[in-house]
Amino acid sequence: MSQLLRPESVEGRLLFAIPKKGRLYEMCLQLLSGADIQFKRAHRLDVALVKNLPIALVFLPAADIPRFVANGNVDLGITGQDMVAEAGPEISSRITEELPLGFGRCQLQVQVPEHGEIQDVEQLSGKKVATSFDHLAAKYFGDIDAKTGLKTSIETLNGSVETACALGLAAGIVDLVESGETMRACGLKPIATLLTSEAVLIRPTTPHPNKDEKLIPLITSRIRGVIAAGRYVLCQYNVSREALSKALEITPGRRAATITAIEEQGWCAVSSMVERATVANTMDRLEAVGATDILILGIDNCRV
């Protein structure tokens, strides 16, 4: 990356940091594609110039992105809320969470052996706890240690945290949990949750000088539209005026439904955005109140 990231190679471009690998990477690529951010990332290179916009994509470890956004010249970034919190208040205070992205949801949990003696977090106080979130773990157990009068030892690991108990390194761990399958396979169970997290679009609270001020709102709007298109579908149906109020209770729309008069007296057509996850139930309820010709249309993209 050092050969390409010379100042002159990205001069005049908005810098957009993307996780280079891991649980957020593939979803970020889909998000960029939906926002029509066109680029080609050469093999093993961690910077790519966008073809149709004055943007340079920089692929960084997700844990480093908050620091580059807060203290560097990076204008936008995608990372997890857990990474922003782990960076500490000095960094997070300089970052604005522009938009939650709806993917990468997980929990930062305290986990212990399922069949061990430890049943609550106070029993871990004074023992060894392994984690890659040393700042958050130290703060969490610092508050517990203040009550117990003991001193918990935080063992910092860069990976394979879930094996620490089985391999005798720690009595418990603090790690991100998505489905929980990996933890269960390692014989662990949760006893506390430090925070919940999802992927988020971030920017510096104080924008960098000499950058296109219109570009950040443009990209944010595009990404917001892609997220909405994935979450919602368009529901269209005909309903009598008498049943309209009941139908609108079922399909109020994201902001409001569109109602159009039709030639048949006493009837109208309704168009409304409804959540994709509730489509089947919504159609059943509409049919029950007398709606007809109910259609569900996918949304490729939108602005909301």
Q: At what angle do helices 25-34 and 215-231 cross, to 10 degrees?
A: 100
- Domains of the chain: which residue ranges? 7-104+199-213, 106-197, 232-297
Q: Do domains 7-104+199-213 and 232-297 have the same CATH topology?
A: no
Tell me the whole-structure pTM to 2 decimals: 0.86
CB 50 within 8 A of CB 32: no
Domain 106-197 - what CATH class? alpha beta
List per-residue pLDDT tens for the chain, 304 residues long. Answer: 444 555 556 777 899 999 998 889 999 999 999 999 999 888 778 899 999 999 999 999 999 999 999 999 999 999 999 999 999 999 999 999 999 999 999 999 999 999 999 999 999 999 999 999 999 999 999 999 999 999 999 999 988 899 999 999 999 999 999 888 889 999 999 999 999 999 999 999 988 876 777 899 999 999 999 999 999 999 999 999 999 999 999 999 999 999 999 988 899 999 999 999 999 999 999 999 999 999 999 999 998 8
User: How far, in Å, CA of 232 to CA of 234, rounded?
Assistant: 7
pLDDT, tens digit, 9 for 90 and up, residues 159-189: 889 999 999 999 999 999 988 888 999 999 9
Structure tokens at 89: 């208040």
Determine the CATH number of domain 7-104+199-213. Answer: 3.40.190.10
Question: What is the CA 175 to chain-centroid distance, rounded?
Answer: 17
Please, what's the b/e burial string for 117-154 (b: 16 or more CB within 10 A of its CB; e: otherwise)? ebeebbbbbbbbbbbbbbebbbebbeebbeeeeeebeb
Using DSSP's 3-state secondary structure scheme, residue 75 falls into coil
pLDDT at site 207: 85
Place of tokens 């008498």: 242
Per CATH, is 232-297 categorized as 3.30.70.120?
A: yes
